[in-house]
């Protein structure tokens, strides 16, 4: 087989992802190779008999099948949304349902189609806790295809929200109103409705990490925590080490040790560790080897993640991720202030700093987001609870 096909190196991947003409040339070389193999096989068949002929034909058929599968996979990875995949991409079932590989974009009530930036997408990713009731992790991603930038912001689980029940933390919304209710609540925080959502079972998170070979991480603190009710047994010494899927899941979920020690800043330090782990995972994913695991990864997501994304959407995002530079994947934490209300500790957005972050890194529209576009519950300088949109907040705290 020709040079460059003995292994799928990074140069070869980039040629295929970025240069359709190079891909076509390499495909022609493969086709020529198959043709020569067929010709050679036919010549040897005349000398070695029918048994050997059959064996060679099986080999050639297998090679053709591999080439065909690779071509189909690369088709989904390299076709840009809004072009051929707009109405011509996706599985037969998805096409029948009117779905394509292009992720959907939403509009806010006061935005027209012309107000939306081209090729910008937003998605909510939620990690459920072991009970499946509350959300353990809330992440919002903003992907700009033109700039090849993926920004991800964590929303602290203790964020104050204006809800009718007594415990007014954002991680309680999922248990009360499901993912749609959580998307509604986040619309108030972001000033627009997020395009897509994905609710991730932590078991799926574990499997996905195993499928990319685990991750290397500098664990920031000693971790010593047991919770039989959640099946957690977290025991790790601080330092740089290789983590399996189960290890990564434990480190990702760790909040404090059994004796109450651990992170100095509580949930904010926990978020920093999650970002470091996700960044390490991104480094594993952005590699040529991931292409060969893409089928298994997509199957795991489809089976274990409750998402509005189609299989073709997932493949498209996977292809985009494979073509990105790691430094263009950026992690943020919503800027917050601490407050104690009732008997519980909360955080609320530092409104001015949050509006600045939204406009710098998470605004899919051409016009800037303002404080008045948001519906955020916060405490003013006088210690009074207020809403940025002027509405009256609930005050029935536990």
Residues 310-339: what's their mean pLDDT?
90
> Shortest CA distance to 120 belongs to which of 129, 111, 128?
111
Last residue of a domain, one of 78, 99, 115: 78
Rounded CA separation 397/390 (Å): 20
Cβ(218)–Cβ(171) below 8 Å:
no
Residue with more model confidence, 114 or 140 = 140
162 and 27 share a domain? no
Query: Does a structural domain hold residue 246?
Result: yes
Cα–Cα dist 294/316, whole Å? 11
The arithmetic mean of pLDDT across residues 354-376, rounded, is 96
Closest-CA residue to 194 (of 128, 160, 143, 157): 143
Give domain status of residue 218, yes or no. Answer: yes
Cα angle 197, 99, 149; round to 5: 50
Domain span at residue 68? Answer: 10-78
Better-predicted residue by pLDDT, 292 or 92: 292
Give the span between the Cα atoms of 139 and 38, in whole angstroms.
52
310 occurs within a structural domain: yes
Return d(Cα 391, Cα 386) in angstroms, integer. 8
Please give the Cα distance from 240 to 49 (Å, whole number). 60
% of the chain surpassing 90 pLDDT: 49
| 206 and 294 share one domain | yes
Q: Are residues 67 and 140 in the same domain?
A: no
User: Both 41 and 135 in a single domain?
Assistant: no
Q: Which residue has the higher pLDDT, 19 or 228?
A: 228
In a shared domain, residues 312 and 187: yes
Mean pLDDT, residues 170-188 = 94
Question: Rounded to whole angstroms, how far apart are CA atoms 123 and 194?
Answer: 6
DSSP label of 374: -
Query: Residue 32: its pLDDT value, please?
Result: 52
User: Quick check: is 363 in a domain?
Assistant: no
- Angle at alpha carbon of residue 151, lines to 172 and 120, rounded to 5°: 100
Mean pLDDT value of segment 147-172: 95
Strands 232-236 and 223-227: antiparallel
Measured from the Cβ of residue 315, the count of other Cβ atoms closer than 10 Å reads 25
| pTM summary value | 0.74
Q: Which two tokens stand for residue 274?
A: 């999650």
The last residue of one of the domains, among 281, 309, 333, is: 333
Q: What is the CATH number of the domain that holds 227?
A: 3.40.630.190
pLDDT band at 318 (very low <50, low <70, confident <90, very high): confident
**pLDDT for residue 86:** 32
**What does the pLDDT read at residue 205?**
85
Percentages helix, strand, coil for the chain (3-state, rounded to 5) are 45, 20, 35
Q: Has residue 257 got a pLDDT over 70?
A: yes
Of the residues 333, 361, 393, the one at which a domain ends: 333
């Amino acid at each position: 087989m020709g040079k460059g096909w003995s292994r799928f190196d990074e140069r070869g991947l980039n040629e295929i992802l970025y240069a359709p003409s190079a891909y076509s040339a390499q495909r022609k070389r493969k086709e020529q190779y198959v043709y020569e193999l067929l010709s050679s096989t036919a010549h040897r068949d005349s000398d070695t008999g029918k048994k050997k002929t059959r064996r060679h034909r099986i080999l050639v058929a297998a090679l053709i099948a591999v080439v065909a599968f690779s071509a189909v996979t690369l088709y989904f990875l390299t076709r840009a949304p809004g072009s051929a995949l707009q109405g011509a991409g996706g599985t037969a079932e998805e096409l029948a349902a009117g779905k394509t590989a292009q992720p959907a974009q939403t509009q806010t009530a006061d935005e027209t189609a012309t107000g939306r930036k081209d090729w910008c997408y937003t998605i909510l990713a939620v990690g459920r806790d072991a009970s499946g009731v509350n959300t353990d992790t809330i992440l919002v991603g903003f992907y700009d295809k033109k700039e090849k930038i993926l920004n991800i912001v964590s929303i602290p689980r203790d964020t104050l929200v204006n809800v009718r029940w007594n415990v007014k933390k954002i991680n309680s919304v999922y248990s009360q109103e499901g993912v749609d209710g959580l998307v509604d609540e986040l619309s108030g925080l972001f000033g627009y409705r997020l395009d897509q959502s994905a609710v991730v079972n932590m078991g799926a998170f574990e499997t996905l990490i195993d499928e990319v070979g685990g991750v290397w991480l500098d664990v920031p603190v000693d971790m010593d925590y047991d919770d039989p009710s959640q099946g957690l047994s977290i025991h790790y010494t601080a330092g740089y080490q290789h983590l399996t899927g189960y290890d990564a899941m434990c480190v990702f979920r760790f909040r404090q040790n059994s004796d109450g020690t651990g992170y100095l800043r509580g949930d904010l330090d926990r978020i920093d560790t999650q970002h470091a782990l996700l960044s390490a995972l991104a480094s594993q994913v952005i590699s040529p080897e991931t292409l060969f695991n893409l089928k298994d990864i997509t199957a795991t997501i489809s089976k274990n993640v409750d998402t509005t994304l189609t299989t073709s959407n997932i493949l498209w995002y996977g292809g985009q991720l494979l073509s990105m530079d790691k430094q263009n994947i950026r992690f943020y934490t919503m800027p917050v202030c601490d407050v104690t209300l009732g008997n519980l500790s909360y955080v609320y957005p530092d409104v001015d700093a949050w509006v600045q972050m939204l406009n710098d890194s998470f605004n899919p529209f051409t016009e800037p987001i303002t404080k008045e576009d948001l519906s955020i519950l916060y405490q003013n300088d006088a210690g009074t609870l207020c809403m940025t949109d002027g509405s009256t907040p609930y005050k029935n705290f536990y």
